[in-house]
Amino acid sequence: MLLLQGLAACSPENAAQNVVNETSASATATAGTPVADGKLVVAFGDSLYAGYGVLPQQSFPARLEQALKDRGIAATVRNAGVSGDTTAAGRRRLAFSLDGLPRKPDLVMVNLGGNDMLRGLDPAETRANLTAICEELKRRGIPIFLTGMIAAPNMGPDYTRAFNAIYGDLAKRYDAGLYPFFLDGVVRNQQLMLPDRIHPNPQGIDAIVAKVAPQVAATLKPR
């Protein structure tokens, strides 16, 4: 129930505020190391990437960029998060987002699906849209890293089973990096969440980055 209540904050009614956040966060995240001199990572998702309720420099992409630099990886993390996006909306804007970049990214991180679950959309539709996103990234030769979501238990066992399986299945199919649940270890800790109980506060974002950054760093290093 907390998950569903909080996800209301990701709805289109809040999109205007977060598009502003997303634009500002992009400017912050791309400051510093020029793209040509380092890795280019794109954080493509919804409000959890866009930076809902926090300052641009506190958003997940901005904090991830700093964490990578602290690990000796010169990287620019572009914030391509738009609040309220469903997987269908993300699918529609993917090509435009990629075509507007200065060059092909070294990695695209994808975090979509939470708003699908909020609206009770068929998990088969969510899977189809995320598959199309992964197919486009594969066609362009861009490595993928998925940060997944999980369904609220009150969606029912059949829905939960179908929805939760999506991210792991796609990670295997496309040889993608995977962090199964973006809010793992954070969503139930009120000290790490905004009052809406779905978006992490700055401390929560840092907690997530601490877990995700090592995996992203390993993906970016030469194999």
Which residues are catalytically annotated? 47, 196, 199
Can you tell me which residue has the tokens 């901005």?
62
Q: Residue 45 and residue 196: Cα distance in Å, rounded? A: 19
Element (H, E) at 97: helix 87-99
Burial level of 175, CB count in 10 A (0-12/13-18/19+)?
exposed
The residues near 47 (Cβ < 8 Å, ≥ 6 apart) are 9, 10, 14, 18, 81, 82, 83, 84, 199
Both tokens of 142, joined, read: 């861009």
Can you tell me which residue has the tokens 């641009």?
56
